[in-house]
Amino acid sequence: MANKTKEQVINEEYIDVDPQRILAILPMLPYQTIADIGSGSGYFTIPFAKYVFSGKVYAIDTEKKALDATMQQVRHINLTNVETKRLKANKLPLDDECLDGSIAAFTLGGNKNAKSLLEDTYRSMRKGAWLALIEWNKSSRSVGPPMKDRIQESDLLKVAEQVGFRFTTRQDINDHKYMILMRK
């Protein structure tokens, strides 16, 4: 297997996750303010921004190149409700209690400071806001990132609950990925 760029690996993570299916599961409303944490090049940001046409989507990532790619797509399709922000040291560049919902897809697995990122996400969310966490199953070995870059569902749930989130539901996205939906 040839060495892959980080962007290629990120794109492969999303390839079999339908953003429309995720939208159908989430309690998202057209006027909400949403954060796409670890947004990459906008795989979820763009469909979310189309859905929350009266709201706002923050695309948040550590990589400037990914955020630039997101903004290029946003300008191409004339969306006006997306703002990009750089994530630094697991601190969201957002005000307290400004979010109605957040998604973190393939962001916490392999992150040594997952709890810190969840704590800052909690700080940025309004009471009753929803949080969707999508990750690779730890048991699925045939595809995906190395086991060290995955987080067991029960471990992720435990950390999120320690931060203060309340479990709502879980979904199998496919044979290799799961989603946990929580509330503040």
User: Which carries the bigger pLDDT value, residue 3 or residue 169?
Assistant: 169
What's the domain range around 24? 6-183
1 domain residue, yes or no = no
Put residue 2 in one of left, alpha, beta given phi > 0 → left and psi -120 to 50 → alpha: beta
81 domain residue, yes or no = yes
pLDDT > 80? residue 162: yes
pTM of the model: 0.90
Instruction: Output the pLDDT for position 9.
Output: 45
Joined tokens for residue 60: 């948040």
Please report the beta strands in the chain, taking only residues with DSSP state E, as ranges in sequence order: 33-37, 56-61, 82-86, 99-105, 125-136, 166-172, 177-183
User: Which carries the bigger pLDDT value, residue 42 or residue 16?
Assistant: 42
| DSSP reduced 3-state for 89 | coil
Stretch (H or E) spanning 65: helix 64-76
What's the rounded Cα separation, in Å, for the pair 42 and 72? 10
What's the rounded Cα separation, in Å, for the pair 77 and 3? 33
Percent of the chain having pLDDT more than 70?
A: 91
Total domain count, the chain: 1
48 domain residue, yes or no = yes
Domain CATH number, residue 159: 3.40.50.150
Q: In sequence order, what are the residues at sequence separation of 6 or more whose Cβ sits closer than 8 angstroms to the Cβ of residue 24?
A: none
Q: In sequence order, what are the residues at sequence separation of 6 or more whose Cβ sits closer than 8 angstroms to the Cβ of residue 151?
A: 108, 109, 110, 114, 135, 138
Give phi and psi for 164, each to the nearest 5.
Answer: 130, -5
The per-residue pLDDT of the chain, averaged, comes to 90
176 domain residue, yes or no = yes
Read off the pLDDT band of 13 (50, 70, 90): low
Is there a contact between 104 and 134 (Cβ–Cβ < 8 Å)? yes
22 domain residue, yes or no = yes
